[in-house]
């Protein structure tokens, strides 16, 4: 098996195989199919303009967001979680996707297609374990995300979870200075405290129920952080982290306050496309971001 089979992958083929692997119907989302749509507000910090001139980050705005769980019918506790949010108003919107692991599971589109094909269920409804292990052995970087999740089991609630944007975004401030940043969204207040020892993450439906009950009881707050680059940081490989990423300098761009639950239809409109970024936050240069932009559009079209 070649490590990077060439010429096989396209965003459309990725969307189709993702649905096949997860056992999803044609009109379902290709990834993070199970989620809850919520609303809230965003307030910038005093430091935001030092990092970006993007009006979606420098001005207060309403927020439309979605908490979600990866996978199809699987109910395992160790599923990747997603948090998508839209900031800004007409003409100045930014739509950011973050997830509960700091890396993606594939470096290139071809590798992602091969990763998924290795996991297509057989006649018994299960993937071929030998095939998966052979692919993993030939592509060890595709294990980084799974290894992180196993080493850092998710907490018992969406509200307690930290989310990362795995891509490096070029951010330009009002002085015209540009540097790369990574988004990190961290819980604030009571939910930032880890649950008691032994508390387990919940299957998807219980996670959604917990989210709704928490919002009904009180607002949920998250800090939107920008991790700042250093010379030599990798910006093209989303399967690896920046050196000392957890300990490096970060700037709080602002605070998202989740105030209510929205009908899920509100999040099924053509939103949360990562290509939507207001001036001041540019498109990451890696191959997977370009593929994600196209795949979101294909998936959205298929859901209509």
Whether residue 244 has pLDDT greater than 90 = yes
pLDDT of residue 23: 75
- Cβ density class 100-127: b for 16+ within 10 Å, e for less: bbbbbbbbbbbbbbbbbbbbeeeeeeee
Domain count, the chain: 1
Evaluate whether residue 244 is within a structural domain.
Answer: yes
Evaluate whether residue 163 is within a structural domain.
Answer: yes
Q: What is the mean pLDDT of residues 87-103?
A: 93
CATH number for 80: 2.40.180.10
Contacts for 275 with CB less than 8 Å, ≥ 6 apart: 283, 293, 296, 297
Evaluate whether residue 2 is within a structural domain.
Answer: no
Q: What is the SS3 assignment for 48? A: helix
pLDDT of residue 2: 33
Residue 188, class by beta-carbon neighbours within 10 Å (0-12 exposed, 13-18 middle, 19+ buried)? middle
pLDDT in tens, 188-216: 976 555 544 444 555 677 888 899 999 99
Evaluate whether residue 283 is within a structural domain.
Answer: yes
pLDDT in tens, 34-83: 889 999 999 999 999 999 999 999 999 999 999 998 865 444 556 899 99
Q: What is the mean pLDDT of residues 105-109?
A: 93
Contacts for 30 with CB less than 8 Å, ≥ 6 apart: 14, 15, 18, 19, 24, 295, 299
Contacts for 257 with CB less than 8 Å, ≥ 6 apart: 40, 41, 42, 43, 63, 219, 220, 221
pLDDT of residue 223: 98
Quick one: DSSP state of residue 281?
A: B
Evaluate whether residue 267 is within a structural domain.
Answer: yes
Evaluate whether residue 241 is within a structural domain.
Answer: yes
Q: What is the mean pLDDT of residues 6-18?
A: 75
Residue 159, class by beta-carbon neighbours within 10 Å (0-12 exposed, 13-18 middle, 19+ buried)? buried
Q: What is the mean pLDDT of residues 266-284?
A: 86
pLDDT of residue 1: 33
pLDDT of residue 227: 98
The whole-angstrom separation of Cα 38 and Cα 259 is 8
Evaluate whether residue 4 is within a structural domain.
Answer: no
Whether residue 133 has pLDDT greater than 60 = yes
The whole-angstrom separation of Cα 122 and Cα 266 is 36
Evaluate whether residue 3 is within a structural domain.
Answer: no
Q: Which of 152-156, 200-204, 294-298 has the lowest mean pLDDT?
A: 200-204
pLDDT in tens, 232-241: 999 999 999 9
Determine the structural domain holding residue 277 and report its residue range.
Answer: 11-303
Q: What is the mean pLDDT of residues 122-142?
A: 94
Q: What angle do CA 91, 51, 270 make, to 5 degrees?
A: 30
pLDDT of residue 275: 87
- pTM listed for this prediction: 0.88
Q: Which residue has the tokens 């001036």?
A: 279
Confidence of residue 160 (pLDDT cuts 50, 70, 90): very high
| Average pLDDT for the chain | 86
């Amino acid at each position: 098996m070649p490590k990077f089979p060439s010429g096989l992958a396209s965003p459309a083929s990725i969307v189709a195989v993702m649905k096949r692997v997860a056992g999803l119907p044609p009109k379902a989302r290709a990834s993070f199919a199970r989620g809850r749509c919520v609303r809230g507000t965003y307030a910038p910090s005093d430091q935001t303009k030092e990092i970006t001139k993007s009006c979606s980050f420098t001005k207060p705005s309403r927020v439309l967001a979605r908490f979600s769980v990866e996978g199809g019918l699987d109910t395992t506790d160790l599923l990747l979680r997603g948090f998508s949010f839209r900031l800004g108003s007409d003409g100045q919107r930014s739509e950011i996707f973050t997830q509960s692991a700091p890396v993606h599971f594939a470096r290139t589109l071809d590798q992602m297609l091969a990763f998924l094909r290795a996991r297509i269920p057989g006649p018994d409804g299960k993937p071929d374990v030998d095939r998966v292990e052979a692919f993993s052995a030939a592509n060890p970087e595709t294990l980084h995300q799974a290894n992180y999740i196993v080493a850092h089991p998710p907490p018992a609630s969406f509200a307690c979870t930290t989310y990362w944007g795995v891509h490096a975004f070029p951010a330009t401030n009002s002085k015209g200075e540009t540097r790369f940043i990574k988004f990190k969204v961290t819980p604030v207040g009571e939910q930032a405290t880890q649950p008691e020892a032994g508390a387990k993450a919940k299957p998807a439906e219980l996670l959604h129920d917990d989210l709704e009950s928490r919002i009904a009881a009180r607002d949920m707050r998250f800090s939107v952080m920008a991790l700042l680059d250093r010379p030599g940081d990798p910006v093209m490989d989303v399967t690896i982290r920046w050196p000392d990423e957890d300990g490096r300098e970060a700037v709080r761009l602002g605070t998202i306050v989740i105030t209510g639950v929205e009908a899920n239809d509100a999040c099924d409109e053509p939103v949360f496309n990562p290509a939507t970024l207001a001036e001041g936050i540019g498109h990451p240069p890696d191959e997977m971001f370009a593929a994600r932009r196209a795949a979101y559009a294909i998936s959205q079209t298929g859901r209509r």
